Amino acid sequence: MSVRGLGKGNSMAKSKRLSQAMVFLLLFGVVSLLSDMTHEGAASIQGAYLSLIGASAGVIGFISGFAELLGYSLRYVFGRITDKTRKYWPMVILGYLIDILAVPLLAFVGPNGWVFACILLAVQRVGKAIKKPAKDTILSFAATQKQAGRSFGIQEMLDQIGAFLGPLFLYLVMLFRTDGDTFHNYAIAFLFLLIPAVATIVMLFFTKHKFPNPDKFEPEPKKMEKFHMKPSFILYIIAISAFAFGFIDYSLVSMHIGKVFVEGGSQVITAETLPLVYSGAMIIDAFAAILFGKLFDRFGMLSLVLATLGSFLFSLFIFEFDSLPLLFLGVGMWGIGMGAQESILKAVVATMVPKDFRATGYGIFEFSFGIFWFLGSWLLGVLYDASILAMVIVSICVQALSIPLYIASSIQARKEREKAVDNKENPL
């Protein structure tokens, strides 16, 4: 066989591998779509539901943050377990079963069952902690065969299509159920989320059957690398922690909308149409993920700076003005922040951490993100009861702090790459 023919064969094999990597990303995207229909559908009414069954703003802020704390902090533990065992699929499946099936159980908490509801929310986040490092890692194996930003952007876009369809699904359920009070309508809506939950599990097993060994997408490194926290990664972790601390959880947003607009007698936002506000945010999230994913592949960390500049003022428009147009503007900006959070933030880790330690890298990333999400959610929930203006100021200032940190991390990463090239060219 000629050298030219051999090269052509290798090119065709590589093309086929890349094609299969994209098929895997798309199939898992459908899993994420169905999953997000379930828990993001629930999120659209979660804050209002907790308020109906007796939880205060402080409690809602605390449990939202504490659930995220569990969900994120445990990811470091399960990330280490995943790297050591390489049992990617078992971890993903176990996590999805716990995560998805906890949501419909919210239908059975009762009119004063806010404590039980809070426990279910914590359990759901534990399920997410089990699956997330393994899921992000196997996705990164395929994503590194394409452009990482675009690949995670596609994932987030499909996620957010599900996040749009979930609240829309609940709106339709409640539209045709007008014979009960708001509590019972919400309870029935949670029960109907069992439909996309079961579909998620079916699609997950189908994807596993088609791709039992997704780690094969990314070639093994030529030599065993040691994982250590480079200065650029440390700066990045500090930056995303500031972002997480200042970013207000949607439970608090939906509770505020419920109090100001639903209970205030708005003709546009009612108890039944409240999920549609979240649907709108998720659509913006989806398009933002694709846009900023492409920007990341081209401009790197600068895309995170642009995303933060486009979203960090959202709390001002949502909480400081009783205006529907400004509310929708604020919710749209919130969606931009979420899109960046779920696409670019993960893509950065895939480019910074070696394959053999990537689940650990994602675990560290998620652990820090969750700690500061919890602390921020708790503080911002308490501030809401004391002074909404103070809450808005803290939210804006802390998110703005992440911008110079992103820039510093980018500069440091470039220095580390240049140093690595110099050492390779001049080993002595």
d(CA 409, CA 428): 28
| pLDDT above 60: residue 302 | yes
pLDDT value for 183: 84
Q: Count CB atoms within 10 A of the CB of residue 242.
A: 22
When pLDDT is averaged across residues 361-383 and rounded to a whole number, the result is 85
pLDDT greater at residue 21 or residue 319: 319
With CA atoms as reference, report the closest residue to 316 among 397, 212, 218.
397
When pLDDT is averaged across residues 48-72 and rounded to a whole number, the result is 79
pLDDT greater at residue 247 or residue 65: 247
When pLDDT is averaged across residues 146-159 and rounded to a whole number, the result is 72
Average pLDDT across the chain, whole number = 82
The DSSP H or E segment spanning 42 is: helix 3-52
pLDDT greater at residue 326 or residue 266: 326
d(CA 291, CA 304): 11
Report residue 177 as tokens. Answer: 């159920």
What pTM value is reported for the model?
0.69
When pLDDT is averaged across residues 270-295 and rounded to a whole number, the result is 82
- The owner of tokens 């650990």 is 360
Per residue in 332-347, pLDDT (tens digit) is: 999 998 887 767 777 7
Q: What share of the chain in percent tops pLDDT 70?
A: 87
SS percent in the chain: helix, strand, coil, step 5: 85, 0, 15
d(CA 145, CA 375): 37
pLDDT greater at residue 71 or residue 246: 246
d(CA 145, CA 355): 13
When pLDDT is averaged across residues 162-181 and rounded to a whole number, the result is 80
Rg (CA), the chain: 22
pLDDT value for 422: 67
Amino acid at 247: F
pLDDT greater at residue 141 or residue 389: 389
Q: How far is CA 261 from CA 318, 327, 383, in A?
A: 11, 10, 20
| pLDDT above 90: residue 295 | no
